[in-house]
Structure 1
Amino acid sequence: MIWIALVLLLFILQMAFVIFSEYQRPNKTVVWLIVLYIFPIIGFLLYLFLAKEYMCSPAPSQEQNREWNRIKADLMERCRQRIRKNHHGETIGQDDDLHALLSGIPVAPITACNETMVFSEGEGAFEAMLSSIAASEHHIHIEFYIIRDDRLGTRFEQLLIRKAQEGVHVRLLFDGIGSRQLGKTFLKRLRDAGVETGCFFPLLASFMNKRINYRNHRKIVVVDGKTGFFGGLNIGDEYLGEDPKLGYWRDTHFSIKGDAVLWLQFTFLTDWHRVTGQIIADSAYYPIQESQGKELVQVVKSGPDETMLEIIFSLIVTAKKRILIETPYFILEPGVFLALKTAILRGVDVHVIIPGVPDKHLVYTATLSYVQELLRAGVRFYSYQKGFIHAKVIISDDLAFSGSANMDIRSFCNQFEINALFYDGKVVNRLVDDFYRDLGESEEILQSKFEKRNALQKMQVVFARLLSPLF
């Protein structure tokens, strides 16, 4: 009997520990209690290694913070001057309250004089990146969640080696979990040629430091501080549609020139400092932008310590006519879920495109649980049939928000992401055209589909939904 009492006491202590640690996040508290109930010991170990709150380590010194604040203040002042000079008196956005929120984001100013090109698939985007890298004269900064040592990865590798040998400063960042299959030989060849590399959250160190649940999901290329690329693509042959299981790969990626590039650069260099400890503050990395474009763009970076939830929520609750969403994963935070239901009640048309062919079955099953509930509310969902849709786009009336962030809790809370708000009609219209082209290659998901599921499928959806706050 004493052993039963001790086991019961241990179980109660584990539950109490989770409750007191997670009381500010009740939705996750419930999930972890369920995991503990099903897997009493293993569940607690999983909690210790996966649920730790993110803390920057090592924390920047006061001197380092002052240096970054100086750089940021200088960039913000430069952007404000260009806004005043080129867009004086213009109204930005669709709602005064939304405009006040977006303009007030302290680390993401609205930038002027931008020129954006939208890519809807990998081939054109990668050719543009490789062409820009080949023409570089001073530096190349590359940051991706996934880099593979395959045919496409080899093209990047060989070009970076050549540019480094020409005397161009080349720096490469990759995520330790996303790029866990990237071999040491690949990196050695780069380093031997003079390419500087850094791993964001190495796999073993992340496990030991209890950071295994955090990722750097950003995809950034900056060339000479004047041309930037960002969006949903990683470096791998599957992003060219060469995965036999997923087939055609539909994505959204951007190239950009103008003041927005300064903030892509700032994001990369702060990540570089986080990984290597180096502060690169030379003005050559923040050149005067030569672009004479007319677009207003707002680059928004986020992570475990600064989310973009407020922006996504605000775009939904201020929409008056339409909300168009494309996302490979659809796992919603409660506030965003409620905002979408409320938008329907206000008479807003809400259309969402998700994959017809999933790449992660558990996440897709959880997605279907949100789909089912929102179908009842009046949201219209479509499954993409041409291949795999990896595009991450939110269109709210005449604004568009796109980049690396998925419409899921992991992107909202646990991953380092980079997105941008587009205010220009040409860019927004292009994304709208892409959306409706994708809609033509999709099948509408009807409520009757869910009524035909058997008991096992229904149980899988329930289980996946319960675990969804951890995805």
Structure 2
Amino acid sequence: MMWLTLALGLFIFQIATILLLEFRNPAKAVAWLSVLFVLPIIGFIMYYFLAKKYTRRKQMRRKERRVIAEIRRALWHKARKAGPGDAVRRCDIYGEHRLLGLLNNIPGSPIMACNSVEIYSDGESTYEAILAAMEQARSFIHVEYYIVRDDEIGKKFQQLMMRKAAEGVPVRLLYDGVGSYKLSGRYVKELKRAGVEVYGFLPPLIAFFDKRLNYRNHRKIVVVDGTVGFLGGINIGDEYLGADPALGYWRDTHIRLGGDSVYYLQHTFATDWVFASGKTLLDPMYLPEHECMGEETVQLIASGPDAPWYAVQEVFFGAMTAARSRIYITTPYFIPDPSIAMALKTAAVSGVDVRIILPGVPDARIIHWASMSYVHELMQAGVRFYQYQKGFVHAKTLIIDRLLATVGTANMDMRSFFSNFEIMAVLYDRDTIARLERDFMTDMRNSKEILLSEFERRSKYERAKELAARLLAPLF
């Protein structure tokens, strides 16, 4: 009898601990309590190692704050200091004072004029552009990815990085420790022997014992010579070229940037690099002088659990509430937090044309079930959902009227909002927004609409899977 009392007391202690620590996030508390009820003790151990709020050691924080402040001072002297009005005067966002006020007040993310933007819609064109830019490098190459694979395209990147290092070009590679857990040690050793600096961001073992395994660097960044930069949804792996037979053709969106926006892409890489390696990148060569490279208006927004507020989520929410005619979203994973779900429902009920493209063939079933659990309630409000049929859609784009569009690494899910290190570009020029809208319409023609009448006829088994996945959704 005594052991039953002790077991009950221990269980109550675990429940109370979760409720106490997660009282500000009821959805997350319910998710962890569900895990705890299914896996007593084991669930609490998982919570202890995976759910700790992201913090940094005070010593590291001081060092990084000093380094980041120095980088920002250098940026301030190099970047053209066009006022907010000057940068957006010819864009439709100029008349949206409330939304523009939000965007202008995101710390460390100024709206910049004088940029060039080129959009790629698949892996083949993206890799061709990135490799060509790296081939032309003369000063440095900085590469940062969530996933790097030791496969055919991975070897192309490896060989090119090794060759450029042999030419005397400083080359640095930063990969996520969990996202690239399959990356072979031989691949990394060969790079290091050739003179490439390589570091993993929070390697699994270190992250586990430091209780930060849940926080991943999901960014995809390439900076060449400080004048050309790339970001978007494409990692380094053959599946992005359609080599995965289960997923087939891989539809994604990536962009090439030129101009002052590349300074801020380099700033993001430099802050991640000092965290992973302890080494600073303060040499003026990393922020070279350059001429105006275009007339496009761009804003880069980096977000992560170390920031004082969740910039990506704030921008998505603010943009959605400002929409008057259309909200077009493409995302491989759709697990919105309550504020985003409410913004979409309110927009649809108000007459805004809200359309969301999801994969028809999912790459992660439990996340797909969780996504489907949100579809029914949003369709009832008038949101239209489509499932991509041509292959696997991995693009991460948002289009709001003719006001703005976003391209980046963040999915429309709670992991991207609150746990991952992400980066995205907010694009304001009409031609760029129109190009992304054309891509969206093409994807919609290659998709099948989910009809409410048919969706409501799904089996009880499907509903049960969605319900179970929905309970755990805040953890994905």
TM-score bracket for this pair, using the shorter chain length: over 0.9
> In the alignment, is the contact (CA less than 8 A) between 1:214 and 1:415 conserved in 2?
yes
CA-CA distance at 1:76 after TM superposition: 3.7
**2:397 is the alignment partner of 1:382:** no
From 307, 310, 327, the equivalent of 2:314 is 310
Match for residue 346 of structure 2 among 327, 333, 342: 342
Percentage identity across paired residues of the two chains: 49
The answer to whether the 8 Å contact 1:83/1:112 transfers is no
CA deviation map 1:276-333 (0-9, x unaligned): 1111111110112323311000000011123221111001000011000000000011
Note if 1:215 corresponds to 2:216: yes
Letter in 1 for 2:178: I
Aligned to 1:394, which of 375, 390, 398?
Answer: 398
Question: 1:35 deviation in Å?
Answer: 1.7
C-alpha separation in 2, matches of 1:300 and 1:166: 33
Equivalent runs, 1:358-369 vs 2, <5 Å: 358-369=362-373
Are the equivalent residues in 2 in contact too, given 1:79–1:112 (CA < 8 A)? no
Q: What is the Cα deviation at residue 61 of structure 1?
A: 5.5
Among candidates 436, 452, 471, match of residue 431 of structure 1:
436
Structure 1: unaligned runs, 5 residues or longer: none
Tell me, in whole angstroms, the C-alpha distance in 1 between the residues paired with 2:297 and 2:240.
29
Q: CA deviation at 1:131?
A: 0.5
Note the 1:269-280 alignment, pairs <5 A.
269-280=270-281
When residues 422 and 193 of structure 1 are mapped into structure 2, their CA distance, relative to the original with a 3 A threshold, is same
Do residues 263 (structure 1) and 264 (structure 2) align?
A: yes
- C-alpha separation in 2, matches of 1:349 and 1:133: 41
Counterpart of 1:446 in structure 2 is 451
- Shift of the alpha carbon at 1:39? 1.6
Q: Deviations over 1:412-450 (max 9, x none)?
A: 111000101000111111100000000000000011232
Structure 1 residues 233 and 185: alpha-carbon distance in aligned structure 2, compared to 1, 3 A threshold? same
CA 279–123 in structure 1, closer or farther in 2 if over 3 Å, else same: same
**1:86 and 1:113 in contact (8 A); partners too:** no
1:159: how far off?
A: 0.5
For residues 87 and 6 of structure 2, the distance between their equivalents in structure 1, rounded to whole angstroms, comes to 70
Q: Report the AA paired with residue 368 of structure 1.
A: M
| Equivalent residues in 2 for 1:125-274, closer than 5 Å | 125-274=126-275
1:101 corresponding residue in structure 2: 102
- CA positional deviation for 1:63: 5.5
Q: Is the 8 A contact 2:79 2:263 kept in 1?
A: no
Alpha-carbon deviation of 1:81? 2.0
Summarize the Cα distance change of 1:437–1:395 in structure 2 as closer, same or farther, 3 Å threshold: same
Code of the residue aligned with 2:427 in structure 1: it is: F
Alpha-carbon contact 2:80-2:260 (below 8 Å) kept: no
Within the candidate set 406, 409, 418, 1:404 is matched to 409
Instruction: Name whichever of 275-284 and 217-226 sits farther off.
Output: 275-284
Distance 1:128 1:88 in 2: 28
Cα distance change, pair 155–89 in 1 and its aligned pair in 2 (3 A): closer
Distance 1:87 1:214, change over 3 A: closer
Q: State the partner residue of 2:323.
A: 319
Distance 2:174 2:62 in 1: 25
Deviations 1:360-415 (A, max 9, x none): 00000010011111011100000000000000001011210110000011001110
Q: Report SS of the residue matched to 2:327.
A: strand
Deviations 1:110-161 (A, max 9, x none): 1111110000001011011001001100100000000000000000000000
The alpha carbon displacement at 1:453 in A equals 2.0
**Cα distance in 2 between the residues matched to 1:158 and 1:209:** 34
Counterpart for residue 118 of structure 1: 119
Which residue does 1:65 correspond to in 2?
Answer: 65
The residue number in structure 1 matching 2:37 is 37
Match of 1:107, SS?
A: coil
Between the aligned partners of 2:354 and 2:89, the Cα distance in structure 1 is 32
Distance 1:18 1:85 in 2: 47
CA distance in 2, matches of 1:51, 1:197: 28
CA distance, structure 1, for counterparts of residue 88 and residue 388 of structure 2? 42
User: 4+ residue runs of structure 1 moved beyond 6 angstroms?
Assistant: none
1:281 aligns with 2:282: yes
Unaligned runs of 5+ residues in structure 2 are none
